Amino acid sequence: MTTKTSDQNRNGVAGFGAFVSSHVVGKGLLRDAWIRLQRDKIALLCIGIVALYAAVALMVQMGWLATPWDEVVSGAYQPPSFASYKTILGTDIFGRSVFFKVLQGTRIAMSVGLVSSLISIPIGVCLGAIGGYFGGWVDDLVVWVYTTVSSIPNIMLLIAIAFLLGKGLPAIYVALGATSWVSLARIMRGEFIKHKSRDYVVAAESIGASHRSRIFRHILPNVSHFIIINLSIQFMTAIKAEVILSFLGLGVQGQPSWGVMIDDAKLELSRGVWWQLAGATVAMFFVVLAFNILGDSLRDALDPKIK
């Protein structure tokens, strides 16, 4: 009788365990962050704005939208008019559509943010991870490198690299990518210092995991949310920096960008021509604001310590 009851208890426990394992599904960090992000309506609106800018940039790059930006569509300095979508933001001194120039500027701004992020993020992650994980003289070398870079005023360093590489979009990519990794390297170094002595890393070491495995397979996935947050911040910073460099004449050449449009508009204001300045600044305002708010929302959603 006792044996039969014990068997029934074991079967019941096993059945309950099977029920739990089949009905309870754990949520990963990204899934949990997405659920939390969906509760923030402003963050979802910012995601929509960023997606709209990205779609416009892609369509312009593929030639599906605003390809003839240098085409004369009307007379010089025509004010905004709803007579045609080409003149919805007026025309410039050559009679070209300001609306088409704003769309072309969107392509350049988004490409600068994307390419510079793809350059700077691997540099910041690798240097920060190596310095924080190994410590010692390796860490001292990494700290010396990013301290030296950060001690130089950022705009002066950008101008120097742009002068060295020459004017144009590729120089902007390299200049921004080579100077924007410092903050991420600092964050990665601090996180790796905290995580390298935790139980899961010690357990990986005890079963013979290599340094590369511990860095990239164990620690890095647990701090990857900082990379996502930095990506949104880097996009915003790169867009603003490109506008400044183009305004100073060191950026894009022969193509309309928001910085070039603002530079052209500084002489037009005395004539009462405000629409080219308004088009560039409003377009830049919305995307920078969206990335700024989205960065804060991503930090709140992805940081597991914030509940």
* 191-215 pLDDT tens trace: 999 999 899 998 988 998 898 999 9
Exposure string of 178-205, with b = 16+ CB inside 10 Å and e = fewer, is bbbbbbbbbbbbebbeebbeeeebeebe
The pair of structure tokens assigned to 157 is 């360093």
> Cα separation of 78 and 195, whole Å?
61
Predicted pLDDT of residue 131: 93
Predicted pLDDT of residue 300: 81
Among the ranges given (133-142, 249-258, 265-274), the one the predictor scored with the smallest mean pLDDT: 249-258
SS3 175: helix
- For residue 91, list its beta bridge partners: 97
Express each pLDDT in 216-227 by its tens digit.
999 998 888 889
Give me the residue label for tokens 């003839």: 68
| More confident of the two residues 9 and 280 | 280
Q: Are 102 and 283 in contact (CB under 8 A)?
A: yes
Predicted pLDDT of residue 29: 64
Predicted pLDDT of residue 22: 38
Average pLDDT, the chain: 83
Predicted pLDDT of residue 37: 81
Q: Are 44 and 37 in contact (CB under 8 A)?
A: yes
Give the burial class of 22: count Cβ atoms within 10 A of its Cβ; 0-12 exposed, 13-18 middle, 19 or more buried.
exposed
The pair of structure tokens assigned to 284 is 């830049």
The pair of structure tokens assigned to 44 is 């979802």
CATH class of the domain at 40-302:
mainly alpha
Express each pLDDT in 138-194 by its tens digit.
999 999 999 999 888 888 888 888 888 877 788 888 888 988 899 999 999 999 999
Domain chopping of the chain, boundaries: 40-302
